[in-house]
Amino acid sequence: MSTGKLFMFEVLGLPYVLILFFLIATLYSSVGHGGASGYLALFAILGVASSTSAPAALVLNVFVAVINFYNYYRAGFFPAKLFFSFAVTSIPSAFLGGFVHPSVRTYQLLLGAALLFASARMLIAPALKPVGDSQPSQYMWLYGGLIGCVLGFIFRNGWHRRRYLPESDSFTGRLS
């Protein structure tokens, strides 16, 4: 672990680290996300080994996503017809997408560009119309297939090929 990362952890201390995790979870869950990319970024800053941080971030992601789903479902914001219209093709496509193995840098550039494009759409575009009970597009199966491919690509590559993350167990040692 680099001196800079060690310094950052020593300066922050455990209570502040936990507050940062709390803030990430709050921000991401307010928009229905689990927060995996935020946790991974924080783990990387703290110098947690990638072999430890990847599965941990995934578990944190699921905990938050389950809570999100429960609260949004209870509040009436889960259009099941829309979900199943693309889930049918996205799940098998996710499996296939995992067979594409680019370099780590190519993976980062592709995913980063896609996220920034989506971000620009959210920040610049006028207010999106609520989908509500409207009929899903007839092309949802196609969108689902594409989304599934991308997800498989991200999960199989993103979670297993993060070799560039620093390797250290100091953070987990401090927690236990």
Partner 1 sequence: MKHTAGVSSASIVVNSLSGILGHVLRGNMHLFPFIPVIIVVIAGGLLGSLIGSHKASERLLQRLLGVVLLLAGGKMLLGG
CB of 28 to partner 1, least distance (A): 6
Residue 6 or 172 having the CB closest to partner 1: 172
Other C-beta atoms lying within 10 Å of the C-beta of residue 150: 18
CB of 72 to partner 1, least distance (A): 4
Residue 3 or 74 having the CB closest to partner 1: 74
Residue 4 or 74 having the CB closest to partner 1: 74
Residue 99 or 112 having the CB closest to partner 1: 112
Other C-beta atoms lying within 10 Å of the C-beta of residue 158: 18
Backbone angles phi, psi at 119, to 5 degrees: -60, -45
Q: Sign of the C-alpha dihedral, residues 103, 106, 110, 111?
A: positive
Residue 21 or 141 having the CB closest to partner 1: 21
Angle between helices 3-29 and 36-46 (to 10 degrees): 160
CB of 98 to partner 1, least distance (A): 9
Spatial CA neighbour of 166 closest among 51, 53, 57, 47: 47
CB of 121 to partner 1, least distance (A): 8
CB of 166 to partner 1, least distance (A): 11
Paired tokens of 18:
């936990």
Residue type for position 33:
H
List all residues 6 or more positions away from 126 whose beta carbon is below 8 Å from its beta carbon: none
